[in-house]
Structure 1
């Protein structure tokens, strides 16, 4: 069943960008796999990220509002009213489905499996439009002519650093004409669940119709240091007790290089310090932020002098760590 991105985020169709961003942040926090251990949380989190990626982009949102679930494969110059009319006509006559399989999936370690996909009645709408080489009328002027190729989908996994800086991938797919190698550029600033469109790399069309498209779905791999939440990055920042008590300037590693954060005096573990704009970049909008979560650590085996000073501090301090004040 197709997902309604507005329902996924729980916002109305006329929601403004600020409402969409607030809804995304709230739901992402609730459903992040590191926080929510429910079996469905991870899939729910991916749906939330995909919905936000579309609705936060003005052009993608306009196309989604116009064409619904078909917005990724409708040609850019298609008139929405003509599309709805043609779809209604096609749905009324729908009664058959075809299937084409490209054989084995990519060999580049994606684990995406078969690229096979169904050619359903929406794929035949190009036969009514007769646009952009995606199909034409049949000889009787009404039935579908050449059938456009089906769109396919596969996953590509990248590291956090690759998502930040961009990277390239080469992989081989098999089809009716034999294997072919594709070189793909993964742009800087991709987010988990984002789709990269490779025009004409999907299923072959029949007759003079164009081939379908291949969509690569980006998956950001787990990282030992960073946690990804949309475009925001989170990391633990260990500090010493005296740095937490007195304040300090501390270096922190980010995918974009080392940065310095100021730890306010009197800080405790779990306090978050924000580095604005140091998260994943965005080619058409604001970059994400980097959040350093403080983690106060003590010496595991203190020296004699450290031991003496800690004992002296314990004698003179009236601080109660378990007090709610």
Structure 2
């Protein structure tokens, strides 16, 4: 297996804090998301970002990766089988993997490092531990889209495949029970967690989305298309909006239990000035500068 430097993929130093790693991931994921990027190879870069973030966002997974990285491997170096699992000071990788992450399709390197004995087909994966009288407990990462729709997903645990119905509006910490699918005839207990998402954050049942807007959109108002868990919708940006303003899309969050009202999607405006890439654009910026007084900050 070829070693991957997940820190380089995200453009951060190995000693980066969790907030810095998260910020780098969100910035790059927005840049290379297949729905918006026109750059060549954007889809592959997006997948690489997802894999790197899944490896580093969880403290136990990051510790496991750092233990391997400490061996002096460089990107592209072949990692012998002994480099995984037993070569890492007895660290039990089977105890740390928590799901398929943002979209699945991870590399053989990721699979070998975090799913040493896993497998069982595409989709979310989980690592299982026998509990008590034969019940088996595992963690299951589901996408926000899965939680919003209430899909069935296929998971692999220790070489077995299962089709699991994800309840609509499922919350982290809830347990899905598969009767008689655990060790020694016991039940399989799947504790739900949300996989990292390149665009959205979760606050209760509300979804948080950061929308980049141009200065003229914020100043003059505009109608723009924004993604939601249920598909894209048109959002009206009021005239005179400022950076940090939050607009609410009612009912566009995660569903409530038992038919209760869904949460909302909160769209936070992030005003960005596109860099001038042509003479005409630079001239437009110069005219804008001249049109406003030098003391506009005081105003």
TM-score (ref. length: structure 2): 0.53
Q: CA offsets, 1:105-142, max 9 Å, x none?
A: 77457664342113xxxxxxxxxxxxxxxxxxxxxxxx
**What residue number does 1:115 align with?**
129
Report the Cα offset of residue 252 of structure 1: 0.6
Instruction: Please point out which of 156, 159, 166 is paired with 2:140.
Output: 156
**What residue number does 2:267 align with?**
292
Give the paired residue count: 189
**What residue number does 1:50 align with?**
none
For the Cα contact (< 8 Å) 2:124–2:142, is it kept in 1? no
Correspondence list, 1:133-212, <5 A: 149-171=133-155, 181-204=161-184, 212=186
Corresponding position: 1:222 with 2:196:
yes
Q: What secondary structure does 2:253 align onto?
A: coil
Report the Cα offset of residue 243 of structure 1: 0.9
Instruction: Output the CA distance in 2 between the equivalents of 1:36 and 1:306.
Output: 33
**What residue number does 2:238 align with?**
264
Q: CA offsets, 1:13-62, max 9 Å, x none?
A: xxxxxxxxxxxxxxxxxxxx75999xxx989xxxxxxxxxxxxxxxxxxx
**What residue number does 1:232 align with?**
206
For the Cα contact (< 8 Å) 2:127–2:157, is it kept in 1? no
Instruction: Please point out which of 293, 308, 314 is paired with 2:289.
Output: 314
Distance 1:180 1:114, change over 3 A: closer
For the Cα contact (< 8 Å) 1:106–1:172, is it kept in 2? yes
Gaps of 5+ in 2: 1-17, 23-56, 60-116
Report the Cα offset of residue 320 of structure 1: 4.8
For the Cα contact (< 8 Å) 1:154–1:216, is it kept in 2? yes
Report the Cα offset of residue 276 of structure 1: 1.1
Between structure 1 and structure 2, the one with the greater Rg is: 1
Report the Cα offset of residue 222 of structure 1: 1.1
Gaps of 5+ in 1: 1-32, 44-103, 119-148, 205-210
Q: State the Cα RMSD in Å.
A: 3.3
Distance 1:321 1:306, change over 3 A: same
